[in-house]
Amino acid sequence: MALLDVERVSMRFGGIVAVNEASLSVESGSITGLIGPNGAGKTTLFNVVTGLQPVASGRIRFRGRDVTHASPNSRAKAGMARTFQRLEAFGSLTVRENVLVASEIHAGVPSWFRRRSNGVDELLERVGLTRYAGQRADSVPTGVARLLELARALAIQPRLLLLDEPSSGLDETETGHFGALLREVAADGCAVLMVEHDMQLVMGVCEYIHVLEFGKVIARGDPAQIRSDRTVQVAYLGFGDTPDEHTLQLPPVGAT
């Protein structure tokens, strides 16, 4: 059984069908991509999976449990963490305090009652934030803020990490570093489901990819299958009918 199973889920905003009977699954310890054009329904699907928005129909199972109507909080407690497109850290707290708060919320105990900081410093070290630990979150560059979002999500020791456009605002080197970090996270047993527009990152780190268009999953497969899928090339990547057009624009699999 997969770690996450989304079965024929739909979600509407009035007359707009944002997610239309979409199904996808995420295996434990894997990195899975969710790609598609702007407005395809990716963020809405994340919101439905994490419980921020209700489903109109369909079923969501996480770790074998039906969580279709569970609260966001109980899904988080069961091991789901997510980041948002817009950076959400507490600006007036330091980088370290931000991670500490996330860790405390997860543990349910304020740190002054505990002797240890629940691995916060190790976590900062692991994602490369130690030198920024004492800086206010609103004073760090975007690349560092993205790592902070990742560290805050990891602080709840999730089984599944949902990342919404994590490389947004990162340069190529930072994106490469981020991709390497994601591989480590997955190797440690935390599955990653990632919405991302940077195809180099997606093709480089994802083992499996789902493609969404108009709320429907139009293709799924490993990076090589997605690269060569004609429907994806036309619908998402905007290629015409010239057979070789796409090969010039897509990065090779494993490029990151």
Ligand X SMILES: Nc1ncnc2c1ncn2[C@@H]1O[C@H](COP(=O)(O)OP(=O)(O)OP(=O)(O)O)[C@@H](O)[C@H]1O
Which residues are at the interface with ligand X (CB under 6 A)?
Answer: 13, 16, 18, 36, 38-44
- Please report how close the Cβ of residue 39 comes to ligand X at its closest, in angstroms: 4
- Please report how close the Cβ of residue 68 comes to ligand X at its closest, in angstroms: 18
104: Cα separation from own chain's centroid: 22
- Structural tokens at position 11: 């979600």
30 burial (CB, 10 Å; 0-12 / 13-18 / 19+) is: middle
Laid out side by side, the sheet with 80-82 consists of 80-82, 160-164, 191-195, 31-35, 208-213, 216-221
| Residue closer to ligand X (CB basis): 38 or 242 | 38
| Residue closer to ligand X (CB basis): 87 or 105 | 87
- Please report how close the Cβ of residue 44 comes to ligand X at its closest, in angstroms: 3
| Residue closer to ligand X (CB basis): 22 or 95 | 22
Helices and strands: H and E segment counts in the chain: 9, 10
| Residue closer to ligand X (CB basis): 22 or 67 | 22
- Please report how close the Cβ of residue 53 comes to ligand X at its closest, in angstroms: 8
Helices (H), the chain: 42-50, 72-77, 95-107, 120-127, 142-154, 172-187, 199-205, 223-227, 230-235
Closest CA to 86 of 133, 134, 142: 142
- Structural tokens at position 81: 């963490």
- Please report how close the Cβ of residue 10 comes to ligand X at its closest, in angstroms: 12
CA separation for the pair 231, 23 (Å, rounded) = 18
Q: What are phi and psi of 95, to 5 degrees?
A: -55, -45
- Please report how close the Cβ of residue 231 comes to ligand X at its closest, in angstroms: 17
